[in-house]
């Protein structure tokens, strides 16, 4: 994920993704711990991202996190409240967040991250994504070109909390 992706007619990479501003968002290397994603959660994100294209879809990642990484057992779609720039920005619904958080209390599971889609863009985080990122959270980005999932990547803030590091995705029971 660190190398600029090949520019193909099917998946053109917008110029801004190769700009210094965008390159600075990503730290070298990989996070030590992986992100395990249950097949159902992966399917929900892909389908929701494809259905929302060319707008951004977004939602919550639910599961457990610890020293051995993130375990996403469930993903939910929440409304993208950004209606003015829905093709390249998302605003997570804070009410849905609070409701889900309250619902999960005492269940042993919690909100451990956020997912969103990048319509016709790579699955790499933007400076805007970095500005709104929380430490300890997993950030899954679904790249959707022409309403089809092209790539799914996971990111988390590095120890300094100033850049994203790539997180390995594993699919399996979480």
Given the rule CB under 5 A, which residues bind Zn ion? Answer: 126, 129
Taking the complex as a whole, how short is the minimal distance between the CB of residue 71 and Zn ion, in angstroms? 23
* Alpha-carbon distances of 161 from 2, 96, 123, 152, 155, rounded to whole Å: 18, 26, 20, 22, 12
Identify which of residues 90 and 174 has a Cβ nearer to Zn ion in the complex: 90
Write down the H helix ranges in the chain. Answer: 20-23, 39-52, 94-104, 127-131
Residue 62 CB neighbours (<10 A): 24
Identify which of residues 124 and 174 has a Cβ nearer to Zn ion in the complex: 124
Taking the complex as a whole, how short is the minimal distance between the CB of residue 116 and Zn ion, in angstroms? 5
Taking the complex as a whole, how short is the minimal distance between the CB of residue 14 and Zn ion, in angstroms? 12
Identify which of residues 100 and 126 has a Cβ nearer to Zn ion in the complex: 126
Q: Which strands make up the sheet holding 69-78, listed edge to edge?
A: 26-30, 164-167, 148-157, 138-145, 110-119, 58-66, 69-78, 35-37, 169-171
Taking the complex as a whole, how short is the minimal distance between the CB of residue 106 and Zn ion, in angstroms? 32
Which residue sits closest to Zn ion, CB atoms considered? 129
Here the tokens at position 12 are 């053109």
Identify which of residues 139 and 174 has a Cβ nearer to Zn ion in the complex: 139
């Amino acid at each position: 994920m660190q190398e600029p992706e090949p520019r193909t007619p099917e998946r053109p990479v917008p110029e801004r993704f190769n700009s210094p501003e965008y390159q600075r968002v990503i730290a070298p290397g990989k996070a030590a711990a992986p992100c395990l994603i249950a097949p159902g959660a992966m399917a929900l994100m892909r389908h929701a991202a494809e259905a929302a294209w060319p707008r951004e879809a977004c939602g919550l990642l639910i599961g457990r996190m610890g020293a051995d990484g993130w375990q996403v057992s469930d993903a939910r779609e929440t409304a993208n409240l950004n209606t003015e720039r829905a093709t390249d920005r998302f605003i997570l619904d804070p009410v849905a967040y609070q409701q889900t958080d309250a619902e999960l209390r005492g269940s042993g599971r919690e909100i451990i991250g956020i997912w969103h889609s990048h319509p016709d863009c790579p699955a790499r985080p933007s400076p805007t994504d970095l500005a709104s990122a929380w430490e300890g959270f997993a950030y899954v980005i679904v790249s959707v070109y022409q309403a089809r999932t092209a790539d799914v990547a996971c990111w988390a803030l590095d120890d300094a909390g100033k850049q994203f590091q790539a997180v390995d995705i594993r699919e399996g029971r979480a």
